């Protein structure tokens, strides 16, 4: 037989694209359209319904950036269309085929009932099936003219990312608004041909099935009447039926399809637009559920449900009904799909607490799995946190984006730093926006790493990022692929069902230990530094407010614990931990609002803490220590004077004039407190840091070296930092002044001022305090660079085989060598409050109050010694998607801690981030709880969420070893229970001598519920 493949393939493509697809709608009549431009921000339906509308013609430009235009569409179904399937078809002037980053609209009945959304891949709204003929159709359509921020594919910046800079030129031209007959037979033929053609093209050239499909399509196309596609469609479909009916091989891979609509809670659009995106997508989903009984849709992010509940009650009612019917599956159990690295440990716990409670309260469902397809890597504490929240499985997809190494598994057990394991799956389809194309089906099978051990994978299907969700076309593809020779088999089902089958099939899946590091998007540890700083400070202020509110509730008559306020503030912080807000990868509008929200939250939390402290009684000034460690340090009084105080963990002490162990001396540019001696060079670097206790020099080269690198990644500016950034840099060694600014027995400080680049300035105050080896570097940057990154280096004279970086509820060790491509790819990593380097007998920590990104490297000197260098990433200057990212003022502090153990790093990390609070109080009571035992660290103290008055304490082992000890209470203790994160009892805790006995494995998290007498 001669090879006719090329002729057939080209013939089928042309006939499909130019004849079949264009005949899906058999006839159309236009709507009469009127328009009203809403002023400013979006308005409620009632206001739009009462507005004055003006005639609007097709082909007319509409829609200023971020605007809302309401269209009134009126028409009548022709009488002769009776018995037909009739739909409204609306083309707002869509650009491309991405639903979420351009014009989109929600169609309402005139009574305000939302019907369905329209976007470029879902332009229809069902009117009647079958139609009566003569029916009147009257819609109000809320159309959003959101700009396409990435229209230039990262080639240039755009002012469209903020309504303050976007201008008012219309972005779109309305193409069509019609009432149309859907020719169901042609529509199904369109899908038959698509599925077979795509399958054919993915099969091997020597695969008989490929040629069978090709010739079947060729013969079927002979039956297509080009002058009457509609009339011949049934015959063409009948000819293709035998080919579509051949069953899949018995050993075919099974793909569990789960409907999905990834909706970024903010990204290339602001939060206010996401609230509308949820209503549009969820309207589409519930409409699809009405059409397809076998449809199952998985939806995460409790915050988005709450938005719909509060703003779109009719859509909310439809969601509730779909949940009851088993077609809507709440998943994930988190308030939002947060970033996987940057939120603190307690914040990750609260993501699950608030998320799971929402689903239980409103649907009576406890979610079983973590659904995080799109976060930029996942910390190594996740398995334990997830299991303690009652989760059984974990799903993500993003690791498939690795730049260097292919992750070796798709189904595996993920083991965290404490040893907890959770069953985990990466969909080999390599997308969370699947549509069951032939290419996707083939990729899933080809890519699947578990061949021979397992035979199934999961595919989230539906358009996403900006929403959209599954479509009827995708559902029809799934039905055709349920059992089709040459393809994987598709079954649409709940993700819980997939994970149960996968675990049963593959109980001995391989184990991956430690973090799931994404070899991409590493700059998200640094971009938009003020957003990250706001998160860090609010996390610590929440801890502070809860501790002192608990103290006041226990000891101050009449004080009411602020449950509702804390709940609201926590949810605000949790929302802004979304994986495109906290990482710094959103448009300017998002980060402008985030910074304002963090400032507002901080003000409220300061006020709540002040109220709680005041409730304890007004008296002499005291220092309040929110840290879980005893502290002896210098604090400033309200008038700025330094005082040396000793304050117990989670307690307070009067500002007594206690003498420090040894005063600070300042001699020229040398600071000395008997523990460390710091020499500042003329260029402003640290020329020497000598640990006087150990009798050794800490630095191998000048420390606090500020290095400005050129930073233009190959793609994804705000997200990525590529390795070549290291090759071009300028060391900032021209200090304009080095001046002693404080010379007190308790504090010595030297200020270094620099100017550089495009008018940027840095002022750093290097200070040493009595009684502490910690060297603080308070930094004030006025930043005006573009496409640069600024790093601060500390080259220490230590041969460290690995670095230890704090993560949630513990720390992770990473090799300092680059023996393999896996280590080499970790050229930029994340950490929280500290990074620690050590050789046997000696260690050094670098501590910070708001930075996350850093790198660690080592070299061997000519004298044989080893220099290990920690470099903090301080600030970046990407221009896409926010052309003004990070511009302006930044204020933060980082510190060098010589002679530090891991325990010292933990304690000083808390101390730097939780400064002593000075307030007047009348002999404040003792700590609510006190932990005794090395490595036992209290993370949260609060009242139970059920308002019972029980005290809840969350603690963990922080050194990475076993810990035994006790937890003593500052109130009569009559009972104690170990609970999960949602404060539900797991078992009774042992009480000995009026205290709770503690025995923790390495990095174990323990939540205790304490009943008071």
Catalytic annotation, residues: 374
Measure the CA–CA gap between 312 and 714, rounded to whole angstroms. 42
Q: Could you tell me the two tokens for 171?
A: 């972005």
8 Å CB contact between 763 and 890: no
Measure the CA–CA gap between 498 and 423, rounded to whole angstroms. 12
In degrees, rounded to 5, the angle at the alpha carbon of residue 728 between the alpha carbons of residues 724 and 729 is: 130
8 Å CB contact between 632 and 662: no
Measure the CA–CA gap between 411 and 449, rounded to whole angstroms. 8
Distance of CA 175 to the CA centre of its chain: 37
Q: What is the DSSP letter of 79?
A: G
Longest dimension (CA), the chain: 101
Q: What Cα–Cα distance (Å) separates residue 657 from each residue in 389, 613, 665, 792?
A: 46, 22, 19, 36
8 Å CB contact between 343 and 535: yes
| Strand-pair partners of 891 | 780
Tokens 């046997």 belong to 840
Residues 6+ apart with CB under 8 A from 1003: 381, 384, 416, 417, 418, 809, 810, 956, 957, 958, 960
Measure the CA–CA gap between 377 and 398, rounded to whole angstroms. 7
- Using alpha carbons, select from 403, 269, 262, 258 the residue that is nearest to residue 336: 262
Would you mind telling me the total number of residues written for the chain in this entry?
1013
- Which value, to the nearest 10 degrees, does the dihedral of the CA atoms of residues 660, 662, 665, 670 take? -110
Q: Which H or E element spans position 615?
A: helix 588-615
Q: Where are the alpha helices (DSSP H) in 780-937?
A: 821-824, 902-913
Measure the CA–CA gap between 11 and 740, rounded to whole angstroms. 82
Distance of CA 920 to the CA centre of its chain: 40
Which DSSP string corresponds to 668-718? TTEEE-SSEEEEE-TTSSEEEEEETTTTEE-BSS-BSEEEEEE---SS-TT
Pairing between β-strand 511-513 and β-strand 411-415 as defined by DSSP bridges:
parallel
8 Å CB contact between 235 and 223: yes
In degrees, rounded to 5, the angle at the alpha carbon of residue 600 between the alpha carbons of residues 597 and 603 is: 150
Residues 6+ apart with CB under 8 A from 768: 664, 671, 672, 673, 676, 678, 747, 748, 749, 775, 776
């Amino acid at each position: 037989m001669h090879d006719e493949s090329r002729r057939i393939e080209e013939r089928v493509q042309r006939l499909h694209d130019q004849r079949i697809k264009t005949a899906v709608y058999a006839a159309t009549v236009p709507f009469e359209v009127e328009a009203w431009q809403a002023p400013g921000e979006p308005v409620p339906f009632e206001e739009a319904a009462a507005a004055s509308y003006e005639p609007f013609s097709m082909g007319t430009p509409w829609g200023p950036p971020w605007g809302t235009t309401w269209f009134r569409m009126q028409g009548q179904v022709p009488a002769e269309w009776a018995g037909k399937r009739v739909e409204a078809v609306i083309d707002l002037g869509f650009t491309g085929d991405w639903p979420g980053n351009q014009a989109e609209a929600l169609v309402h009945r005139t009574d305000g009932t939302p019907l369905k959304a329209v976007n470029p891949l879902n332009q229809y709204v069902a009117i009647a099936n079958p139609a009566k003929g003569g029916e009147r159709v009257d819609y109000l359509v809320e159309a959003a003219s959101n700009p396409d921020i990435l229209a230039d594919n990262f080639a240039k910046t755009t002012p469209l990312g903020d309504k303050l800079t976007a201008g008012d030129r219309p972005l779109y031209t309305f193409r069509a608004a019609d009432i149309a007959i859907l020719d169901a037979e042609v529509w199904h033929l369109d899908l038959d041909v698509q599925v077979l053609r795509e399958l054919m093209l993915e099969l091997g050239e020597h695969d008989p099935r490929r040629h069978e499909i090709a010739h079947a399509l060729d013969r079927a196309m002979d039956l297509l009447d080009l002058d009457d596609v509609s009339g011949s469609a049934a015959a063409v479909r009948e000819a293709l039926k035998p080919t579509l009916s051949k069953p899949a091989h018995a050993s075919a891979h099974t793909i569990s399809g789960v409907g999905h609509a990834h909706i970024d809670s903010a990204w290339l659009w602001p939060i206010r637009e996401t609230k509308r995106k949820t209503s549009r997508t969820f309207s589409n989903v519930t409409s699809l559920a009405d059409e397809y009984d076998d449809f199952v849709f998985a939806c995460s992010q409790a915050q988005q449900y709450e938005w719909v509940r509060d703003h779109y009650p009719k859509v909310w009612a439809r969601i509730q009904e779909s949940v009851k019917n088993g077609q809507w599956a709440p998943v994930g159990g988190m308030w939002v799909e947060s970033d996987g690295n940057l939120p603190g440990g307690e914040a990750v716990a609260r993501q699950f607490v608030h998320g799971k409670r929402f689903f239980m309260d409103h649907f009576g469902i406890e979610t079983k799995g973590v659904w995080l397809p799109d976060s930029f890597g996942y910390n190594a504490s996740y398995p334990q946190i997830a299991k303690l929240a009652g989760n059984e499985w974990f799903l993500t997809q993003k690791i498939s984006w690795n730049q260097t190494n292919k992750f070796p598994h798709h189904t595996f057990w993920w083991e965290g730093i404490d040893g907890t394991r959770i069953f985990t799956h990466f969909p080999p389809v390599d997308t969370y926006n699947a549509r069951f194309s032939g290419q996707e089906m083939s990729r899933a099978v080809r890519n699947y790493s578990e061949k021979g051990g397992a035979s199934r994978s999961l595919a989230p299907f539906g358009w996403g990022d900006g929403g959209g969700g599954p479509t009827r076309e995708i559902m029809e593809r799934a039905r055709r692929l349920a059992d089709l020779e040459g393809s994987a088999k598709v079954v649409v089902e709940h993700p819980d069902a997939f994970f149960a089958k996968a675990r049963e099939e593959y109980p001995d899946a391989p184990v991956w230990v430690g973090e799931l590091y994404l070899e991409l998007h590493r700059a998200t540890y640094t971009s938009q530094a003020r957003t990250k700083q706001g998160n860090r400070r609010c996390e610590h202020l929440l801890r502070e407010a809860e501790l002192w509110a608990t103290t006041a509730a226990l000891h101050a008559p009449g004080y009411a614990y602020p449950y509702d306020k804390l709940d609201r503030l926590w949810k605000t912080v949790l929302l802004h931990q979304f994986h495109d807000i906290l990482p710094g990868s959103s448009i300017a509008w998002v980060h402008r609002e985030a910074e304002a929200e963090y400032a507002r939250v901080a003000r409220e939390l300061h006020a709540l803490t002040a109220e709680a402290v005041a409730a304890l009684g007004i008296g002499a000034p005291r220092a309040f220590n929110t840290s879980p460690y005893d502290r002896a340090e210098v604090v400033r009084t309200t008038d700025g004077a330094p005082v040396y105080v000793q304050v117990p963990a989670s307690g307070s002490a009067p500002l007594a004039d206690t003498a420090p162990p040894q005063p600070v001396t300042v001699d020229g540019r040398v600071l000395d407190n008997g523990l460390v001696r710091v020499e500042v060079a003329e260029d402003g670097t640290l020329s020497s840091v000598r640990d006087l206790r150990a009798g050794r020099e800490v630095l191998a080269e000048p420390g606090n070296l500020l290095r400005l690198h050129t930073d233009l990644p190959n793609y994804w500016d705000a997200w990525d930092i590529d390795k070549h950034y290291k090759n071009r840099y300028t060391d900032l060694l021209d200090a304009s002044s080095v001046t002693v600014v404080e010379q007190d027995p308790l504090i010595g400080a030297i200020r270094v001022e620099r100017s550089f680049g495009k008018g940027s300035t840095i002022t750093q105050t290097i200070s040493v305090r009595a009684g502490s080896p910690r060297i603080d570097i308070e930094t004030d940057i006025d930043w005006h660079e573009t496409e640069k990154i600024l790093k601060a280096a500390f080259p220490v004279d230590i041969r460290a085989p690995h670095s230890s970086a704090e993560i949630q509820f513990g720390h992770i060790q990473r090799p300092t060598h680059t023996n393999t491509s896996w280590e080499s790819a970790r050229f930029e990593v994340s950490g929280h409050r500290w990074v620690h380097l050590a050789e046997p007998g000696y260690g050094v920590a670098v501590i910070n109050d708001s930075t996350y990104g850093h790198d660690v490297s080592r070299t061997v000197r000519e004298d044989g010694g080893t220099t290990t260098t920690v470099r903090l990433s301080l600030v970046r200057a990407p221009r896409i998607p926010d052309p003004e990212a990070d511009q302006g003022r930044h204020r933060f502090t980082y510190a060098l801690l010589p002679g530090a153990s891991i325990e010292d790093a933990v304690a000083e990390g808390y101390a730097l981030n939780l400064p002593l609070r000075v307030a007047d109080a009348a002999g404040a009571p003792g700590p609510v709880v006190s932990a005794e035992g090395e490595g036992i660290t209290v993370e949260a103290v609060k009242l139970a969420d059920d308002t019972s008055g029980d005290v809840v304490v969350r603690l963990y082992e922080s050194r990475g070893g076993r810990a035994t000890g006790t937890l003593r209470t500052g109130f009569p203790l009559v009972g104690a229970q170990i609970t999960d994160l949602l404060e539900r009892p797991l078992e009774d805790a042992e009480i000995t001598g009026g205290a709770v006995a503690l025995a923790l494995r390495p990095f174990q998290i323990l939540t205790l519920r304490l009943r008071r007498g």
